[in-house]
């Protein structure tokens, strides 16, 4: 794993509110900053560059979660409410499929 991911992610999250809300956008910004890519770069080349530099999607999102834990004042309240609602819906749906044993 590339140890330079965390500072790059933190820098982007501090300066860009959209990156705090959208993981896809955050990943895109990290790759642009850490690799020599632009919109015309082929996806296969990006994936090879990630493998070569030790960058993973999981490391980026993990750093984001840690950043938001350390800086709760930067969490978007609306996005957090939507996430909690989706989690609750998932739990309710899961509960419907658990057999009741009497």
**DSSP-assigned letter for residue 4:** T
Query: What rounded mean pLDDT belongs to the chain?
Result: 85
* pLDDT mean over 92-96: 85
- Number of alpha carbons in the 13 Å side-chain half-sphere of residue 51: 6
Residues, the chain: 102
Q: Higher confidence at residue 75 or residue 56?
A: 56
**DSSP-assigned letter for residue 54:** T
Domain residue ranges of the chain, discontinuous segments joined by +: 5-96
Two tokens, residue 89? 């819906």
Two tokens, residue 26? 């955050």
The string of pLDDT tens digits covering residues 70-90 is 988 887 777 677 778 888 998
**DSSP-assigned letter for residue 75:** S
């Amino acid at each position: 794993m590339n140890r330079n991911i965390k500072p790059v992610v933190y820098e982007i999250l501090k300066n860009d509110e959209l990156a705090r809300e959208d993981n896809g956008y955050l990943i895109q910004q990290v790759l642009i900053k850490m690799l020599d890519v632009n919109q015309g770069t082929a996806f296969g080349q990006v994936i090879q560059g990630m493998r070569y530099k030790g960058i993973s999607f999981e490391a980026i999102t993990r750093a984001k979660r840690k950043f938001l834990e350390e800086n709760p004042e930067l969490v978007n309240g609306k996005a957090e409410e939507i996430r909690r609602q989706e989690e609750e819906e998932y739990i309710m749906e899961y509960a419907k499929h658990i057999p009741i044993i009497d």
